[in-house]
């Protein structure tokens, strides 16, 4: 556990909230993620299951949470199962949670070894009428690999064919999209680490530096501050600015180019997501600055427009209309193109072809129904961009915000973004 201890109150409150959404005589099961193989006998570092962490704070492999709010015995209403430490694990893998450790982290009193799960679970299923089972229900997910949840669901349907099985994911998504104050504090720490990494880069970037060297500087800064990359960083110089998901990070930064940095640190599994575009030489050209400031105006207007009760699609349309006007002023669009545009395919998509923003939290593209109006506590990225391959550069800017009853709060308000400020820091 790289991050500082988190108050178990966060996880206890989340369990109370999910219990309130479950039906009568229903239990729910949440599994840890698998440890995934690479080549030979290698494995990838385990990525904690976001739902399990949301409800328990546990990040250890093979852990299982069972919630049964209506269980006859009070002690069986929350049960956490973890691997039992032994000498072999201690030698080869190191620390594993003791029962007391798991209780302290999660706030769950009834902690059992994983070997006890089959017998206890069968007894609870005989008492329950409904079982909520979990899967990774995300519209953008590519489901090619069978998961631990998939295997568990198949086993449950085989062993308990007459039970009523329901989807847990929609209930979790409803809760996870609105962040509590404790979650906002963890997100602020992720943002702060990201900001410090960016400030380091402003002093580091110059002509002749390779994209991977920039990535290395971020790695040092993030890890030093108990963070890690929330996603594979995009370090894109020159024409690579225009590749939305550029991941090679192997080119040399040259004089006169822009360097697009789509970067974010994760802290305690909560993710920051920031984009800045800076001049490799420390000074924007006149054209680069015009395009940059156009994107910045759209960013700020879009942040101001993220208000309680607004639908994501309406928020996006507002930004696209603004972007049309900016592109018109830059000479990239004509009035006739805007007049003839399809409402579902606005003219600005030629130069601004991706979405305006997404939910942010335990996942970078966090869960949550984007067809539901923004609620207070919703955390969003805001990331307009203009990409001009014919001119050899693009600009994207991205901040993270919290929607509140009193208007949006920009978590990245103190991160340099004005062209004059960026130039001043780079040339200090």
Q: What pLDDT was estimated at residue 144?
A: 86
| Residue for token pair 């340099």 | 416
Report pTM. Answer: 0.96
| C-alpha to C-alpha distance for 222 and 220, rounded to whole angstroms | 6
Residue 141: predicted pLDDT: 86
Give the CATH number of domain 9-176.
3.40.350.10
Q: Which helix (H) or strand (E) holds 267?
A: strand 265-267
- Residue ranges per domain, the chain? 9-176, 181-426
CA atoms of 306 and 312, how far apart (whole Å): 9
pLDDT tens digits for range 326-353: 999 999 999 999 999 998 899 999 999 9
Angstrom distance (rounded) from CA 139 to CA 258: 33
Per-block mean pLDDT, blocks of 10 residues, the chain (428 long): 93 98 97 95 93 98 98 97 92 92 98 98 97 93 90 97 97 97 98 98 97 98 97 98 96 98 98 98 98 98 98 97 98 95 93 97 94 97 98 98 98 98 95
Distance CA 22, CA 18 (A): 7
Q: What percent of the chain has pLDDT over 90?
A: 93
Each residue's pLDDT tens digit, 206-218: 999 999 999 999 9
Structure tokens at 134: 């979990």
For residue range 369-382, list pLDDT tens digits in order: 989 999 999 999 99
Sheet holding 379-382, edge to edge: 379-382, 399-402, 409-410
Q: Write the CB contacts of 209 (distance below 8 Å, at least 6 apart in sequence).
A: 252, 253, 280
DSSP tag of 132: E
107: its two tokens = 């706030």
pLDDT given for residue 341 in this prediction: 93
Architecture of the domain whose range is 181-426: Alpha-Beta Complex (3.90)
A 10 A CB-CB count for 254 gives 14
Instruction: Give the residue among 266, 192, 186, 271 at the shortest CA–CA distance from 6.
Output: 186
Q: Are 84 and 115 in contact (CB under 8 A)?
A: yes
């Amino acid at each position: 556990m790289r991050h500082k201890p988190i108050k178990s109150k966060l996880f206890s409150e989340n369990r109370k909230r999910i219990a309130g959404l479950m039906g009568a005589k229903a239990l729910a099961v949440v599994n840890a993620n698998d440890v995934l193989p690479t080549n030979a006998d290698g494995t990838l570092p385990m990525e904690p299951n976001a739902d399990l962490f949301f409800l328990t704070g546990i990040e250890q492999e093979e852990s299982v949470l069972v919630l049964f709010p209506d269980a006859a015995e009070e002690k069986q209403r929350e049960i956490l199962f973890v691997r039992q430490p032994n000498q072999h694990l201690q030698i080869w893998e190191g620390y594993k949670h003791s029962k007391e450790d798991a209780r302290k982290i999660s706030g769950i009193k009834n902690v059992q070894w994983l070997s006890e799960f089959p017998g206890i679970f069968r007894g609870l299923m005989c008492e329950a009428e409904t079982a909520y089972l979990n899967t990774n229900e995300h519209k953008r997910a590519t489901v090619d690999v069978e998961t631990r949840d998939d295997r568990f669901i198949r086993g449950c349907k085989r062993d308990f064919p007459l039970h009523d099985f329901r989807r847990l994911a929609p209930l979790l998504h409803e809760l996870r999209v609105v962040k509590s104050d404790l979650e906002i504090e963890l997100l602020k720490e992720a943002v702060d680490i990201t900001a410090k990494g960016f400030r380091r880069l402003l002093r580091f970037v110059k002509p002749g530096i390779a994209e991977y060297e920039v990535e290395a500087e971020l790695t040092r800064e993030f890890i030093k501050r108990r963070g890690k990359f929330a996603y594979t960083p995009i370090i894109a110089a020159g024409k690579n600015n225009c590749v939305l998901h550029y991941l090679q990070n192997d080119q040399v930064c040259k004089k006169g180019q822009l360097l697009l940095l789509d970067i974010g640190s994760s802290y305690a599994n909560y993710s920051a997501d920031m984009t800045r575009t800076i001049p490799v030489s420390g000074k924007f050209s006149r054209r680069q600055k015009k395009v940059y400031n156009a994107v910045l105006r759209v960013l700020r207007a879009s942040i101001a427009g993220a208000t309680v009760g607004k639908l994501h699609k309406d928020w996006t349309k507002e930004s696209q209309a603004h972007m049309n006007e900016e592109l018109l002023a830059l000479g990239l669009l004509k009035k006739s193109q805007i007049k003839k545009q399809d409402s579902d395919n606005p003219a600005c998509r030629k130069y601004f072809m991706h979405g305006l923003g997404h939910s942010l939290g335990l996942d970078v593209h966090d869960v949550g129904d984007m067809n539901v109006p923004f609620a207070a506590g919703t955390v969003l990225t805001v990331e307009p961009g203009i990409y001009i391959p014919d001119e050899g550069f693009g600009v994207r800017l991205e901040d993270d915000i919290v929607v509140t009853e009193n208007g949006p709060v920009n978590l990245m308000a103190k991160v340099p973004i004005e062209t004059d400020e960026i130039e001043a820091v780079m040339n200090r």
